[in-house]
Chain A
Amino acid sequence: MKSKREAVQMKTLKKILFALAIGILLIWALFPIFVMITISFKNKFEIMGTKTPIWPENPIITNYIKMWKTVPLLHYLKNSMIVCFATVGLSLLISVPASYAMSRFHFRGKDTYSVMVLATQLFPGIIMLLPIFIMYSNFTALTGIPMVKTLHGLVIAFATFGVPYSVWMLKSYFDSIPNELEQAAMIDGCTRAKAMMKVVMPLVLPGIIATAIYVFLLAWNNIMFTGILADQSTRTFANGLQEFSSENGTEYGQLMAACSVTTIPLLIIFLMFQKQFVGGMTGGAVKS
């Protein structure tokens, strides 16, 4: 009898510990988001006060209205959107054929190529920043095509940064699709390219979406390259956020409101595509 009761007690204890661990980790994951949203609804006195509670006592929405005037956010948002979508498009255009070839064809130099793809991951961003700045400047001097301080300059750099990981992720997606599908289409008279577009692409769409989200975030997150390669007119949103700090102090409420405005749409999109995204991340990054 006693041992049975002990076993039941053990089980309850385990359950409590389990719930506790989940609870703590949930708070850990959500805490910064909670801080961001609550502060965005606070007025200056509530933010700067040392004795005020951590939630907004008198929620206001002025931060969400004023922020557009304090910093030309709409302009930066437009720049970011152009850069990010163009980056995703270009990056996929480059990495889809490459990853397909990696998955389907055997060719001389394939191993060298895949080492090359992996080796790019070793380069810290900072090592490429100065040379790219110099290369862009010289390209402009030679051809007259502006590169520094342009949106397409950013797109070319970010799209390339996205390529290696995208090739890696997409390759494993193509690996999971049986080759017989294209063979059948090709017997019916399709070319390899056509078979890929018509038959395989719809099946790897989840992988494409996951890759697209990854590349989008890569471009969206960057402040190192945009800080140097962009100017006032081509500045992106992530960089623009820093403008809430000036000599007169930081507009914390507006900063958090601007952060919320960018993050919440991303979160909604992510939750919608969560399944594909998870599949894509694990399919590409980890293949044991």
Chain B
Amino acid sequence: MKKSRKTNPYLWILPSFICMSIIQFFPGILSIFMSFTKLDVSYVRRPFEAPFAGLGNYSRILQPGTSLGNSFLTSLMITIGFTLASTILGYLIGLLEAMLLNQPFKGRAVVRAVFLIPWIVPTIVSAFCWRMIFLRDFGILNKLLLSLHIIDEPIFWMIGSNAFLVIVVARVWASCPFIMISILAALQTIPTEQYEAAKVDGASAWQQFRYITMPGISAVSKVVILLQFIWGSGEFTIPYAIFNQTPPKEANLISVLVYSNTFSTWDFGGGAAVSTIVLSIMLVLSVFYMRAAMRPSTDD
């Protein structure tokens, strides 16, 4: 007992506390502060002297007709749609992969390793690969579809609403290994006796899924879906790299919008206001989701 009193737990967490405070929380608060000022390039060296703008940045963003205002609402809708679509699709594919891998079969270890590959491929690399696949004139997908006579004319994948599809596909591909491995871990904790007992009682495959599998993976699924939602909403690399830094408006996610707008016009105040709105939306959605999906847990 004497020995353990000697160790001060606060010293152990102190470095991480300092780092997170300086590099994550302080910038977050600074960003909210910046969103109420007219901070531009001339105030970079003295951010606290920037003139107060009140809600000026916010009204500018929400007003169509300004350069940011025109793109903000579209971009917000696209980002929400992208996050939802890629989370749902990624979850379904990840779930399917996990359920297949939960069956014993020859070569299962190899298949599992292959399913995990997208996790390790750098996002920027996979984004460039998707560009090669979806390009109109010499993209691999059009080549494949043309040679199989499924289409007669090459399809424009990279413009219009197809561009949205492209970023969703790229995101789903990159995210399903994490979902798969998380669900698989949960599936493996379900005792096989439960399934055997259910079979003896004459339960159908659906009933087995509904009453044994789903309760077994629900806790994990809730966490995984929340994480995917948060990570997806901040996605930057996929649209930025696939469309060579200038995505069409159907693929112009919020992060890309803020990035290209802020560092081309040096309109820090406007960029910060956009970020703050998105952060608030995410915060509200996450809290709402956690209230609905997760009962207050009692574990440490």
Binding site for B on A (CB under 8 A): 18, 21-22, 25-26, 28-33, 35-36, 39, 47-50, 52-54, 93-95, 97-98, 100-102, 105-107, 110, 113-114, 116-117, 120-135, 137-138, 141, 156-157, 159-161, 163-164, 167, 186, 191-193, 213, 217, 220-221, 223-224, 227-228, 238, 241-242, 245, 250, 252, 255-256, 259, 262-263, 266-267, 270-271, 274, 278, 281-282, 285-286, 288
A102-B117 CB under 8 A given contacts A125-B234, A127-B27, A129-B259: no
Q: How far is the CA of A191 from the CA of B2 in the complex (A)?
A: 11
Besides A110-B9, A128-B23, A274-B116, 10 other CB < 8 A contacts? A21-B100, A22-B100, A54-B140, A122-B279, A141-B45, A192-B3, A220-B122, A223-B241, A242-B245, A285-B224
Q: How far is the CA of A206 from the CA of B164 in the complex (A)?
A: 39
Q: How far is the CA of A110 from the CA of B114 in the complex (A)?
A: 39
Say whether B237 contacts A228, CB under 8 Å: no
In this complex, what residue of A is CB-closest to B125? Answer: A259
Say whether B185 contacts A28, CB under 8 Å: no
A97-B259 CB under 8 A given contacts A120-B20, A160-B19, A186-B3: no
Contacts of B47 in A (CB 8 A): 134, 138
Contacts of A282 in B (CB 8 A): 181-182, 184-185
Interface flag for B53 (CB, 8 Å): no
Q: Contacting A93 at CB < 8 Å: which of B15, B181, B219, B237?
A: B15
Q: Contacting B181 at CB < 8 Å: which of A102, A245, A255, A278?
A: A278
Residue among B120, B178, B282 with the most chain A CB within 10 A? Answer: B120
Contact with A along B220-246 (1 / 0, CB 8 A): 100110010010011011001100110
Q: Contacting A286 at CB < 8 Å: which of B12, B128, B182, B282?
A: B182
Say whether B140 contacts A21, CB under 8 Å: no
Contacts of B42 in A (CB 8 A): none
Say whether A238 contacts B223, CB under 8 Å: no
Query: In angstroms, how far is the closest chain B Cβ from the Cβ of A10?
Result: 11
Q: How far is the CA of A227 from the CA of B245 in the complex (A)?
A: 11
Q: How far is the CA of A259 from the CA of B129 in the complex (A)?
A: 9
Q: How far is the CA of A35 from the CA of B134 in the complex (A)?
A: 11
Chain A at the B interface: SS class: helix
In this complex, what residue of A is CB-closest to B189? Answer: A288
Chain B at the A interface: SS class: helix
* Interchain pairs with CB closer than 8 A, number: 276
Contacts of A101 in B (CB 8 A): 9, 12-13
Contacts of B57 in A (CB 8 A): none
Query: In angstroms, how far is the closest chain B Cβ from the Cβ of A254?
Result: 11
Contacts of B23 in A (CB 8 A): 128, 132, 156-157, 160-161
A125-B186 CB under 8 A given contacts A223-B124, A252-B132: no
In this complex, what residue of B is CB-closest to A171? Answer: B300
Contacts of B3 in A (CB 8 A): 186, 191-192
Q: How far is the CA of A85 from the CA of B122 in the complex (A)?
A: 16
Q: How far is the CA of A101 from the CA of B259 in the complex (A)?
A: 37
In this complex, what residue of A is CB-closest to B18? Answer: A94
Say whether A286 contacts B124, CB under 8 Å: no
Q: Contacting B120 at CB < 8 Å: which of A53, A107, A161, A217?
A: A217
In this complex, what residue of B is CB-closest to A93? Answer: B15
Contacts of B103 in A (CB 8 A): 18
A127-B124 CB under 8 A given contacts A93-B15, A121-B230, A221-B237: no
Q: How far is the CA of A263 from the CA of B237 in the complex (A)?
A: 16
Can you report 7 A-B residue pairs in the complex whose CB atoms are below 8 A from each other?
A30-B117, A32-B118, A110-B9, A128-B28, A160-B19, A217-B122, A228-B263
Say whether B129 contacts A131, CB under 8 Å: no
Contact with A along B8-49 (1 / 0, CB 8 A): 011011011101101111111011001000000000110100
Q: Contacting A241 at CB < 8 Å: which of B10, B124, B144, B278?
A: B124
Say whether A126 contacts B275, CB under 8 Å: yes
Q: Contacting A26 at CB < 8 Å: which of B111, B154, B259?
A: B111
Residue among B9, B28, B44, B124 with the most chain A CB within 10 A? Answer: B9
Say whether A107 contacts B255, CB under 8 Å: no
Interface flag for B247 (CB, 8 Å): no
Query: In angstroms, how far is the closest chain B Cβ from the Cβ of A268?
Result: 10
Q: How far is the CA of A227 from the CA of B262 in the complex (A)?
A: 13
In this complex, what residue of A is CB-closest to B276? Answer: A127
Say whether A97 contacts B133, CB under 8 Å: no
In this complex, what residue of A is CB-closest to B130? Answer: A32
A288-B120 CB under 8 A given contacts A131-B26, A159-B19: no
A164-B30 CB under 8 A given contacts A29-B115, A125-B236, A221-B123: no
A241-B223 CB under 8 A given contacts A29-B114, A120-B24, A128-B23: no
Q: Contacting A122 at CB < 8 Å: which of B34, B185, B286?
A: B286
A122-B125 CB under 8 A given contacts A32-B173, A130-B262, A160-B23: no
